[in-house]
A and B are shown apart, each in its own frame.
Chain A
């Protein structure tokens, strides 16, 4: 599974994307973020306030309780500020 990070999330984690292999008990977006936070201090810092995080699964906006089954690309980012 490929994970993409944007804006300040990308800067805090220190990379724009990575390939990950989460354990089987990671079935939703919320599970994935909880698992990422256990990996290293920079992830814990980046995901400290999850209310400031939005998610897209295979380039479609999704919720934290969305299942990851069959998903190839997960994008995590702050609320958008274009226009």
Chain B
């Protein structure tokens, strides 16, 4: 279980390789990469977070995924600071013996991350206009379907 909050970019291929390295029991690796969507004239997305709580919240979400599914390994990376359209912003990877646990846990991690981890996005357009992104009801609904 690993959580990283960082300004720097990351290499999804290298991350996946090291996630599965050294554990011959792993039969499935699933990953999700989120990119900054350049909708309309959005040129940059600035990510603010709550240092300290962010890491705790991500670690709690990851621990819950390991409770619910038999995972061999997992990784969550979230970038912060100003990110241009097209840049990688978030990465979730799960490894398990069989594919279903890895698929479901990856989706669970993203759904919970989007509704529970203290990050806030601000869109900046080419002419410098700034606007905070509103939370989406569809994200809450996506997280609620994991309720048990």
A residues with CB within 8 A of B: 4, 6-8, 56, 59-61, 75, 77-83
Known A6-B48, A7-B132, A8-B132; contact A80-B53, beta-carbon cutoff 8 A: no
B52 and A59 contacting across the interface, CB-CB below 8 Å: yes
Nearest CB in chain A to that of B110: its residue: A83
Our pick among A56, A59, A75, A83 for the contact of B119 (Cβ within 8 Å) is A83
Known A75-B50, A77-B50, A77-B120; contact A82-B56, beta-carbon cutoff 8 A: no
Which residues from chain A contact B134 at a C-beta distance below 8 Å? 79, 81
A80 and B120 contacting across the interface, CB-CB below 8 Å: yes
Which residues from chain A contact B124 at a C-beta distance below 8 Å? none
Which residues from chain B contact A6 at a C-beta distance below 8 Å? 48, 50, 118, 120
Which residues from chain A contact B43 at a C-beta distance below 8 Å? none
| Residue among A61, A79, A80 having the largest count of chain B Cβ atoms under 10 Å | A80
How far is A38 from B133 in the complex, measured between Cα atoms in Å? 28
B120 and A75 contacting across the interface, CB-CB below 8 Å: no
A80 and B52 contacting across the interface, CB-CB below 8 Å: no
Which residues from chain A contact B113 at a C-beta distance below 8 Å? 82-83
B132 and A80 contacting across the interface, CB-CB below 8 Å: no
Nearest CB in chain B to that of A7: its residue: B120
Nearest CB in chain B to that of A10: its residue: B48
Residue B27 interfacial (CB < 8 Å): no
Which residues from chain B contact A82 at a C-beta distance below 8 Å? 47, 49, 78, 90, 113-114, 117-121
Nearest CB in chain A to that of B131: its residue: A8
Which residues from chain A contact B114 at a C-beta distance below 8 Å? 80-83
Which residues from chain A contact B118 at a C-beta distance below 8 Å? 6, 56, 75, 77, 80, 82
B132 and A56 contacting across the interface, CB-CB below 8 Å: no
Residue B116 interfacial (CB < 8 Å): yes
Known A77-B50, A83-B113; contact A7-B122, beta-carbon cutoff 8 A: yes
B119 and A80 contacting across the interface, CB-CB below 8 Å: yes
* Ranked 3 nearest A-B pairs via Cβ: A82-B119, A79-B135, A83-B114
